[in-house]
Structure 1
Amino acid sequence: MTYPLYFLGALYLCAPVLAWLLALLVVKRQLLDPTPARLPPAMWIWMLGMLMMLVALVVGHLDWQLGTGKLIKSSIGWAKGWALLALFILAGSLSIRPAILYRAAMIVCLHTLLLAPVFVLAWLAGLPDTPYVSPLKAIGGPGPEFFAVSLYEIDPGSGLPRWRLFTPWAPALGFVANIFFLFALQETSRRWRLIGISASILMILMSQSRLAAVSLVFLALMPLGIRLLRGSVIPWLGAACASLVALIGARLIDAAMNFWAAFKGARADSTRVREALGRIAIERWKSEAPVWGHGVVERGPHLVEYMPIGSHHSWYGLLFVKGAVGFFALAVPMAVSLLGLLLRAPRDPLVRTGFGACCLLMLYTFGENLEILAYLIWPALVIIGLAHCRNAQLASAPLPSPLRSQELSS
């Protein structure tokens, strides 16, 4: 249903409705079931963190006397943004089968492969880049791009076409593509796995997102890294790396600096705007609202092409809008999920996939605003919730003692 909802302009509106309905179902089960399933501690931490986002929002509005109207509007925005991170992770307690989410993502990948030639031909034929904006934008949202049907867009820096398909901007397509790639690796059907991997790589290429390309390499290498955690090769690998650094450390540093310079230079205008937005956000946060933030997003000056201050970066955006309270409201749950799932990622495929999804979220906090894209990345959030439930089951399962193992073997 992704593409039909996109062409209707309803994609942004459906995810919050789904999240709150699933939350009501969780509450119903917890209250009415005779023996309700115990929620993992990580889920409670995510819910507490996102509630602190709301507290920071309210205090920020009161501090800056922004008025009741803006407070109500921002609270609705919280319910459609930061709250979704906790609600979809909470939905993992409903025992949803991961295979359903994997296959659903593969179906979207198949639709993408079928529709990609249409989007490319639209650019070649010189059709309007945005044929229409859905009237559903009247309901309210972050901007018209969330309700617009875009066939392509032209990068002002390079003059080359980029595609964002069903997402609000091209880098967001790279984010979703990496989630689909992660899911494709878990597909049991070889045909669907091939479709998912092919479509994911195609979407990353169409988005021309540098962060998406780096994330794809990370996901491809992650299974190898996790397998190494299960063996005794880590000390030897560490010794080999230390020796290598000692021998050619200077060359490695030069190579890393050259790579970083080339990475930023690939889209120099974008890098300049992002860095300026970050500097403005940090300076104004430290000097004006270090604890609770400014309460609302503000447009930047001409220097940053009037982009919202703190956009393109979750941490800078949180510091500016919600202060140190909002920063730690995301940092603590994120750290708990990453560390908690990493410990058992080598033992279970679902936990491993959830850990990969957490790593993706962490990577994209440095290039996107998670709040505004929560309606797109919700399958990854559900997988994280399922992984936490599975992680809790593994933690509660007693390991056989040596004596018991000898009894069983005899």
Structure 2
Amino acid sequence: MAAAADPRQTAAERLIAGAIGATWLLWLVGGLYIAGPLLGWTLAFMVARSYYLSPILPPGERPAPPSLAIWAWLIGMAAMLPILLIGHINFGLGAAQTLKSAVGWAKGWALLALFPLAGFALPIRLEVLARAICRLGRQTLFLLPLFLVAPLLHLPQHLWVSPLHVLGGSGDEYFTVTLYTIEPGAGTARWQFFAPWSPAAGMVAVIHFLIAREERHAGWRWTGYAAALSVALLSQSRLALVALAITIPLVIAAGRIKRPATWFAAVPAVLVAGWFAPQIGALIERLTSDFAGARADSSRVRAALGRIAVERWQNEAYWFGHGIVERGPHLVEYMPIGSHHSWYGLLFVKGLLGVIALAVPMVWMLIACLIAATRSAIGRLGLAMALTYWLYSFGENLEVLTYIGWPALLVVGMALKPAAFAQRNDRP
């Protein structure tokens, strides 16, 4: 197993393991939001260098030609930039705002393509990534008592806002060192750890749990499990628990889809489901209602944000969107229109063309990872990451969380690598 100081690690692996290992330190100084994009563009430079030098590299070090799924991400996210610029022109937003939004594209949408590309083209071993995630889990478990006692001791919720926020151009929540928050209405403590808000911490927990499953050493693997589950539960993210409950069985089934026994086992299950369809439908409806009712105010605000986004998109900016995010009215507690939902947010900010630019690579990624899942363990993990991103696209704005969710995108790229190149990169 590759340790953090393993001399066999490639430059890309050392960068990735180092970035993950420094997560809590970067959180403390408010540098996580900057480190994610910096890592993504550094890896992109390494990819460009690798392809440029490919003709003179030894056969074992040459990157694989990009797959169609990778090209779909590159083209789709590149298209986001001209769509954004046209939206700014349509609404006369000015040069300063346009420049700010272009920098935001480089820190968000562009990374959705760059990290899969890096995972695909660079020699990165899954064992290095899994061990780094589990080591981060150990740090999280050490810090967990501090987070738990903070509300009991009435310590400040927010310790400070890093001065680095002047470089970020986004809200202060990305640079604030927060110990805990108090849930409105309930008055109970809720934790977000190194994420900008609690549901985002739940998303990271799902990603880390799924990657930790690939750790071969039992002690490290269970450390990763314990940390990820603690974050998922303490963040009180409903979607995190749903994602784990849905993703793992689907991935296991996908890995066995070629086995005849799987199809024979599915036949009685389908028959039973057909017989009890009304009862199953009623159960799903009740569970959905309970899910929304678990945090009724949050569900109400999310629904209202979606309705406002769709209405204004249809009436004001059908093709290219409004160009920028706008604050909503008092009805939605002044939250940004289209937030908490990637597709509503895209409709409002980038219009129908923006939705298409994301939907095509997302669908392509899911299909490619489903095929890969029938062939290898890394393919099944890639499918798990793809499913997680699909689920969270209906509860979060994916582009703003790429700076902490990038390990999932890295795994997707690794999963799409041709078998011959994947085996070559797995060698010590």
Structure 1 length as normaliser, TM-score? 0.93
Residue 240 of structure 1: how far off its partner (Å): 2.2
Question: Is 1:49 the equivalent of 2:76?
Answer: yes
* AA in 2 matched with 1:262: D
- Root mean square deviation of aligned Cα: 1.6
Give the 3-state SS of the residue equivalent to 2:209 in structure 1: helix
**Which contiguous aligned blocks of 4+ residues in structure 1 show a shift greater than 4 angstroms?**
391-394
Q: How far does residue 368 in structure 1 lie from its aligned partner after superposition?
A: 0.4
AA aligned to 1:4 is: L
Unmatched runs of 5 consecutive residues or more in structure 1: 395-410
Shift, 1:248, TM fit: 2.0
335, 339, 347: which one pairs with 2:363? 335
Query: Is residue 164 of structure 1 aligned with residue 184 of structure 2?
Result: no
1:70: which partner in 2?
97
Q: Deviations over 1:244-289 (max 9, x none)?
A: 2342221111111111110100000000000000011111111111
Identity %: 46
Question: Which residue does 2:25 correspond to in 1?
Answer: 4
What residue in structure 2 maps to residue 135 of structure 1? 163
Query: Counterpart amino acid of 1:131?
Result: L
Q: Which amino acid aligns with 1:321?
A: V
Q: 1:234 Cα shift?
A: 4.7
The amino acid that maps onto 2:381 is T
Structure 2 residues without counterparts, runs of 5 or longer: 1-21, 57-61, 423-428
Partner of 1:28: 49
Structure 1 stretch displaced more, 316-325 or 229-238:
229-238
| Partner of residue 61, structure 1 | 88
Farther off after superposition, 281-290 or 264-273: 281-290
Structure-2 residue corresponding to 1:261: 289
| Higher alpha-carbon deviation: 217-226 or 198-207 | 217-226
Q: Distance between the aligned counterparts of 1:293 and 1:391, measured in 2?
A: 41
Q: Is the 8 A contact 1:182 1:219 kept in 2?
A: no
SS of residue matched to 1:131: strand
Contact residue 72 and residue 361 of structure 2 kept, 8 A:
yes
Shift of 1:235: 4.2
- The structural deviation recorded for 1:89 is 1.0
Of the candidates 204, 215, 237, which is equivalent to residue 176 of structure 1?
204
Match of 2:122 among 94, 114, 119: 94
Match of 2:9 in 1: none
Measure the CA separation in 1 of the matches of 2:372 and 2:37: 31
Corresponding residue number in structure 2 for 1:81: 108
- Inter-partner Cα distance in structure 2 for 1:300 and 1:288: 15
Q: Deviations over 1:158-180 (max 9, x none)?
A: 21111001110000000000011
Instruction: Give TM-score scaled by structure 2 length.
Output: 0.89
CA deviation after TM superposition for structure 1 residue 238, in Å: 4.5
Mapped pair 1:389 → 2:417: yes
Task: Quote the residue 2:391 is aligned against.
Answer: 363
Is contact 1:61-1:67 (8 Å) kept?
yes
Does the 8 Å contact 2:251/2:383 carry over to 1?
no
Q: How many equivalent pairs are there?
A: 395
Looking at structure 1, the residues matched to 275 and 392 of structure 2 have their Cα atoms a distance apart, in angstroms, of 34
Q: Given the superposition, is the C-alpha separation of residues 262 and 392 from structure 1 closer, same or farther in structure 2, using an over 3 Å criterion?
A: farther
Q: What is residue 126 of structure 1 aligned with on the other side? A: 154
Supply the distance in 2 between the matched residues of 1:184 and 1:57 (Cα, whole angstroms): 37
* 8 Å Cα contact 1:297/1:308 also seen in 2: yes
Distance 2:137 2:247 in 1: 18
The answer to whether the 8 Å contact 2:342/2:396 transfers is yes
Distance 1:31 1:281 in 2: 43
Instruction: Kindly indicate whether the alpha-carbon contact (under 8 Å) linking 1:157 and 1:267 is maintained by their aligned counterparts in 2.
Output: no
Alignment deviations for residues 137-183 of structure 1 (CA, whole Å, 9 cap, x no partner): 11133211111110100010321111001110000000000011111
Is 1:347 paired with 2:401? Answer: no
